[in-house]
């Protein structure tokens, strides 16, 4: 394990020139002075090791000093970006590419269809209401009218069983905090109900109200404060939130998530409990015997799966059986049929969809059938299965390389909708006729490009320990492999999340300039089941970085690119990936984009819901093994003075309350002090934005243009 640079307690600031002149070097720019960032002699002692944290003051993201630092850093970054020759042209080009109609999956509620659409450059999608699928539409919900900059988002949640009301989920400035409101479906009128302090929740209807999850009122207003006691409540329409009934809270375990969801017939509430992002327990509350006047007691909850070692989700409950998607005894998952009379008796569990060589990604019962989705080498496959399991037929998709989402609906639905996308296949919505089993295009976007001009392939390469890892590579058909292609290597590698093919119009800016996009499926992800996930978590996290480094080396070896034409990128856990790769292999790439990354692995669990990631990462305060492991790769702690790092643009946002901006602030400050090479070390801090969800179109266009201009310039490409 590489020895971390813990004892760096004071850092000198210096000028960095941007005008190096080797082959493929960027054109000269004026010398740049970084804003002054003071240091403090702060240290922690963990398992006998003193750990320096000279920039801890930046964790106070609401202090006047931090705000001044943010302003100075943004001023420097914007000054640098303003000088990039391609910036304005890229923004104009992307605006033209992005200006096409984007349509979501239709929902049928109360005899009407609800469809979200963005006409092209609207900051937020608008929800329309139609009496028939092809009927005249009217605006039902337009979040663009709620703010001038488009930073307030709104989406429709679940509808009540009588289909007279629907939940409205609102977020402001990209925050994870939500407000739940209620609308009438017939005319869009909002009811007085306002539910606040909601995070990671939806609205699950039961009779004249709904279940939801929220946190207690905070002691202060600190955005970074730890969130504890996630609890399930029941709200009755027309009542004040203070009258809501507490359904479940674990007073002995504040660091747990609790989610409640109801079955379509409202017979059961499914209580899903987890210690974080990995592993969960399942309990049932029989709502047919629940007295709404009083909260249920612990004994009212029927256990199905207890403990937090397995990953489970209830697919449906009907006709006396519960259908559970689980990795118990099946690392690639299986769908089991469980009698409600004895749900914990595993000897009575029957495999309805057994484990196979492909990952069982999900199962939904709709339109009188099961729609079972697998991943085959990170590409979607869908099978329709009859209720008795005997009739199984493949749902024909537009092509074999791509990603599917949808097939949700009521049990008696006659039609379902799904979306299909791939690297050169813009997201298209299909209507599926349950009776005939056929699909037809409902909405296909008109994007100004020719799909046949682009090629996507999947290759397999060898990682450091010999593991074979797949990677998608996308380029134009006529792009030469001369070892000098500007290449954007993007990955995630964590939390059981799968990266699958999808269309991103921003990539056309790169591909149309003879560039290459590469996306490996690193260990830690979910593409190949829990064994693949577990091979990249906790004490095995280094495998993820090794996989990413090997991907870059493969691209160089096979003649796609070179180190001075390679960019590495990732967001959130992927931002950690880029940061760790930078400090371990600063010579691998010319450009680095760590976005909203987890950069301080020794303190991440102390902010907002960071404690929920402990099952994935481990905790530096818990065991010496965890401390040594996390300290060995923590990006912030492993930056070394006197090192030539890639040209780096760290990105974060002032309202990111998931991975708080302090991670990026501290990393950028230390990077600027350690950088000895000519490449810039900048941080771009978005205002009125969060972790990424709900970002207005205007901000997306600006950010993408800045990214490509920064990357190409630092690869010596300015035209």
pLDDT above 80: residue 692: no
What tokens appear for 247 in the block?
A: 């359904």
Read off the tokens for 593: 């984009």
Q: How would residue 6 be classed by pLDDT, with cut points 50, 70 and 90?
A: very low
pLDDT score at 498 = 97
Q: What is the 3-state secondary structure (H, E, C) of 423-492?
A: CCEEEEEEEEECCCCEEEEEECCCCCCCHHHEEEEEEEEECCCCCEEEEEEEEECCCCCCCCCCEEEECC
The residue assigned the tokens 């093919």 is: 501
DSSP per residue, 52-104: E-TTGGGG-TTSHHHHHHHHHHHHHHHHHHHT-TTHHHHHHHHHHHH-S-EE-
Report the C-alpha dihedral over residues 663, 666, 669, 673, rounded to 10 degrees.
-120
As its CATH architecture, domain 43-95+455-713 has 3-Layer(aba) Sandwich (3.40)
Residues of the chain with pLDDT > 90, as a percent, come to 87
CB within 8 Å of 498: residues ≥ 6 apart: 359, 361, 375, 378, 521, 525, 526, 527
Joined tokens for residue 121: 């450059």
DSSP class of 563? G
DSSP string, 101-155: -EE---EEETTEEEEEEE-SS-SS-EEEEESSTTS--EEEE-GGGS-TTS-EEEE
Sheet of 392-394: strand order equals 359-366, 369-376, 379-385, 392-394
Angle of helix 87-98 relative to helix 697-713, nearest 10 degrees? 140
- For the record, the structure tokens of 684 come out as 């771009």
Angstrom distance (rounded) from CA 709 to CA 81 = 8
- Three-state secondary-structure class, residue 559: coil
pLDDT in tens, 480-498: 999 999 999 999 999 999 9
| Active-site residue identified among 175, 572, 634, 664 | 572
pLDDT at 572 over 80: yes
Tens of pLDDT, residues 111-126: 999 999 999 999 999 9
Residues 356, 361, 365, 370, Cα dihedral to 10°: -30
The pTM of the whole model exceeds 0.95: no
Alpha-carbon gap, residue 131 to 110, rounded angstroms: 10
Q: To which residue do tokens 């449906």 refer?
A: 316
Instruction: Please state, in angstroms and rounded to a whole number, the distance separating the CA atoms of residues 709 and 686.
Output: 17
- Output the six-digit token pair for 550: 């090997």
Query: In 3-state terms, the chain is what percent helix, strand and coil (to 5)?
Result: 20, 35, 45
Phi, psi torsion values for 119, nearest 5 degrees: -65, -15
CB 283 within 8 A of CB 303: yes
Share of the chain above pLDDT 70, in %: 95
Q: Identify whether the C-beta of residue 70 lies closer than 8 Å to the C-beta of residue 64.
A: no
Dihedral sign for Cα atoms in the order 391, 396, 399, 403: negative
572 is catalytic: yes
Asked if pLDDT for residue 27 goes beyond 90, the answer is no
How confident is the model over 675-685, as pLDDT tens digits?
A: 998 999 999 99
Rounded distance between C-alpha atoms, residue 704 and residue 685, angstroms: 14
- Residue 246, burial from CB neighbour count under 10 angstroms (0-12, 13-18, 19+): exposed
What kind and span of H or E run contains 312?
strand 312-318
Q: Which residues pair with 428 in a beta bridge?
A: 420
CB–CB of 10/641 below 8 Å? no
Please tell me which residue in 235, 637, 691, 713 is annotated as part of the active site: 691
**pLDDT value, residue 500:** 98
With cut-offs at 50, 70 and 90, classify the pLDDT of residue 533: very high
Taking residues 601-621, report their average pLDDT. 95
Q: What are phi and psi of 326, to 5 degrees?
A: -145, 155
Q: Give the pLDDT of residue 28.
A: 61
Half-sphere exposure of 489 (CA within 13 A, CB side): 33
The per-residue pLDDT for range 354-413, each reduced to its tens digit, is 999 999 999 999 999 999 999 999 999 999 999 999 999 999 999 999 999 999 999 999
Mean pLDDT of the chain: 93
- Residues 137 and 130 sit within 8 Å (Cβ to Cβ): yes
Residue 325 CA from chain centroid, whole number: 22
Token pair 């950088």 in the structure block, residue: 675
> Residue 291: pLDDT above 90?
no
Q: Is the pLDDT of residue 223 over 70?
A: no
What burial letters (b/e) apply to 209-223, b meaning 16+ CB within 10 Å? bbbbbbbeeeeeeeb
Per-residue pLDDT, averaged over 585-598, amounts to: 97
pLDDT of residue 4: 43
* Confidence class for position 29, pLDDT limits 50, 70, 90: low
In this structure, what is the dihedral angle of CA atoms 247, 252, 256, 261, given to the nearest 10 degrees?
A: -20
| pLDDT tens for each residue of 31-88 | 679 999 999 999 999 999 999 999 999 999 889 999 999 999 999 999 999 999 999 9
Q: Categorize the per-residue pLDDT at 474 as very low, low, confident or very high, splitting at 50, 70 and 90.
A: very high
In this prediction, residues 173-196 reach a mean pLDDT of 93
Q: Between helices 573-584 and 662-674, what is the axis angle to 10°?
A: 20
As a whole number of Å, the end-to-end CA separation of the chain is: 43
Structural tokens at position 83:
């000088």
- Please state, in angstroms and as integers, the Cα–Cα distance from residue 616 to each residue in 460, 493, 538, following that order: 26, 11, 6
Cβ(686)–Cβ(73) under 8 Å?
no
């Amino acid at each position: 394990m590489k020895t971390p640079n813990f004892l760096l307690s004071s850092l000198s600031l210096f000028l960095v020139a941007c005008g190096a002149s080797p082959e493929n070097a960027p054109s000269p720019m004026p010398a740049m002075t970084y804003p002054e960032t003071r240091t403090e002699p702060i240290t922690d002692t963990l398992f006998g090791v003193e750990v320096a944290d000279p920039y801890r003051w930046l964790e106070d993201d609401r202090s006047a000093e931090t705000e001044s630092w943010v302003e100075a850093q943004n001023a420097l970054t914007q000054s640098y970006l303003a000088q990039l020759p391609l910036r304005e042209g890229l923004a104009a080009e992307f605006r033209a590419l992005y200006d096409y109609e984007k349509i979501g999956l239709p929902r049928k509620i109360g005899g009407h269809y609800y469809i979200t659409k963005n006409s092209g450059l609207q900051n937020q999608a608008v929800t329309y209401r139609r009496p028939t699928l092809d009927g005249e539409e009217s605006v039902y919900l337009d979040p663009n009218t709620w703010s001038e900059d488009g930073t307030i988002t709104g989406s429709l949640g679940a509808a009540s069983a009588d289909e007279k009301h629907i939940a409205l989920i609102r977020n402001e400035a990209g925050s994870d905090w939500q407000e739940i409101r209620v609308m009438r479906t017939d005319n869009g009128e909002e009811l007085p109900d306002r539910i606040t302090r909601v995070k990671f929740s939806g609205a699950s209807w039961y009779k004249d109200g709904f279940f939801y999850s929220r946190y207690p009122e905070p002691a202060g207003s600190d955005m970074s404060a730890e969130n504890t006691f996630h609890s399930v409540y029941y709200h009755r329409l027309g009542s004040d939130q203070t009258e809501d009934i507490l359904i479940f809270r674990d007073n002995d375990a504040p660091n747990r998530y609790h989610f409640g969801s109801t079955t379509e017939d409202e017979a059961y509430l499914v209580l899903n409990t987890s210690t974080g992002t990995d592993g969960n327990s399942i309990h049932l509350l029989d709502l047919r015997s629940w007295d709404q006047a009083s909260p249920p007691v612990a004994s009212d909850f029927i256990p199905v799966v207890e403990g937090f070692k397995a990953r489970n989700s209830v697919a449906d409950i009907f006709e006396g059986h519960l259908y559970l998607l689980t990795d118990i005894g099946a690392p690639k998952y299986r769908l089991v049929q469980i009698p409600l009379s004895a749900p914990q008796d595993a000897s009575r569990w029957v495999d309805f969809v057994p484990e196979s060589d492909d990952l069982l990604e999900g199962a939904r019962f709709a339109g009188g059938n099961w729609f079972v989705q697998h991943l085959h080498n990170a590409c979607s496959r869908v099978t329709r299965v009859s209720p008795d399991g005997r009739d199984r037929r493949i749902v024909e998709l537009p092509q074999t390389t791509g990603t599917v989402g949808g097939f949700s609906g009521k049990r008696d639905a006659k039609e379902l909708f799904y979306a299909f996308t791939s690297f050169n296949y813009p997201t298209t919505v299909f209507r599926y006729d349950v009776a005939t089993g056929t699909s037809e295009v409902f909405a296909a976007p008109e994007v100004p490009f020719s799909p046949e001009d682009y090629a996507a392939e999947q290759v397999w390469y060898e990682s450091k320990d010999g593991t074979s890892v797949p990677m998608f590579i996308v380029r134009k058909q006529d792009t030469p492999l001369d070892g000098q292609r500007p290449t954007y290597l993007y990955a995630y590698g964590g939390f059981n999340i799968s990266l699958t093919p999808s269309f991103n119009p921003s990539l056309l800016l790169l591909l149309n300039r003879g560039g290459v996009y590469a996306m490996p499926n690193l260990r830690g992800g979910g593409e190949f089941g829990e064994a693949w996930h577990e091979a990249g978590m906790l004490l095995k996290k280094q495998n993820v970085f090794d996989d990413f480094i090997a991907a870059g080396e493969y691209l160089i070896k096979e003649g796609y690119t070179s180190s001075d034409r390679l960019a590495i990128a990732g967001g959130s856990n992927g931002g950690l990936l880029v940061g760790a790769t930078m400090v371990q292999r600063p010579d691998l790439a010319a450009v680095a984009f760590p976005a909203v990354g987890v950069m301080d692995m020794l303190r991440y669990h102390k902010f907002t819901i960071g404690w929920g990631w402990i099952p994935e990462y481990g905790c530096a305060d818990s065991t010496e093994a965890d401390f040594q492991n996390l300290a060995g790769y923590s990006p912030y702690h492993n930056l070394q003075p006197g090192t030539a790092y890639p040209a780096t643009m760290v990105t974060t946002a002032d309202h990111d309350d998931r991975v708080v901006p302090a991670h990026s602030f501290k990393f950028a400050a230390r990077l600027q002090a350690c950088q000895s090479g000519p490449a810039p070390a900048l941080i771009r801090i978005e205002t009125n934005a969060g972790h990424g969800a709900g970002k207005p179109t205007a901000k997306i266009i600006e950010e993408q243009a800045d990214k490509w201009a920064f990357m190409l310039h630092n690869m010596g490409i300015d035209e």
